[in-house]
Amino acid sequence: MVIIGLMSVVVLPSFQRWFDGLDSRIQSTELAARLQRLVARAALLGQTIDVTQANVGDKLADGRVALTLPEGWQIADKETLRINASGVCAGGRLKFDTPRGSIVLKVDAGGCEVLVVRGES
Per-residue pLDDT for the chain (121 aa), expressed as one digit of tens each? 777 776 677 766 766 666 666 778 889 899 999 988 998 899 899 999 889 999 989 999 999 999 999 999 999 988 888 888 887 777 888 899 988 888 899 888 867 788 888 755 4
pTM of the model: 0.77
Could you give the domains of the chain?
A: 2-118 (3.55.40)
Q: DSSP labels for 50-106?
A: EE-TTTTT-B-TTSSBS-PPPTT-EEPTT--EEE-TTS-B--EEEEEEETTEEEEEE
